[in-house]
Amino acid sequence: MSRTQHILPSGLVFATGAWVAWVSYTQAPAEAFLFPRLISTVFVVLAGWTFAKALLGWSKVGAGFTRGMVLNLLPGLAVMAVYVFWAAKSLGFYTATTAAFFILLSLYDPASHRDARVWAKRAVITAGFMAVMYALFALLLKVYTPHEVLF
């Protein structure tokens, strides 16, 4: 097993976390980014720890990512990129999150795409997920979410 299979993914996660933390610390209004700052700081510390372990050769668990794993992740990464760089800001947090979650659930759910009951189940799961997200962010934490077209 090559050390690169540990260094590359952990380095990408660390770089992404550092970018998210930098964005959360440099945006205004500061109150709106309090929760993202907390989460991104914890994320960067853990990702940095994992990256340092990989660089030092202390990561000996697993075989890293195979080509097949990467190919399976690509559709989800494409949905994530559209969500992060366009949809959340343009459509609003809750609308974009509903769409992204439903698309990801449909992509990775092994159930048939021809059965109406499965689609209804996916819609119910998405609605339940969004109810939890709304309760967490809007009601419990009272944090800022991007508002645009719908809400």
Give, for 51, the enclosing helix (H) or strand (E).
helix 34-56
Per-residue pLDDT tens digits for 48-66:
999 999 898 887 766 667 7
Tell me: pLDDT of 122 over 90: yes
Domain coordinates of the chain in residue numbers?
Answer: 1-64, 66-151
For residue 129, what pLDDT is reported?
A: 95
Task: Say what percent of the chain tops pLDDT 70.
Answer: 89
Task: Say what percent of the chain tops pLDDT 90.
Answer: 46
Q: Rounded to an integer, what distance in angstroms lies between the CA atom of residue 98 and that of residue 94? A: 6
- Predicted TM-score (pTM) of the model is 0.69
| Banded pLDDT at 138 (limits 50, 70, 90) | confident
Residue of 98, 92, 150, 104 whose CA lies nearest to 126? 98
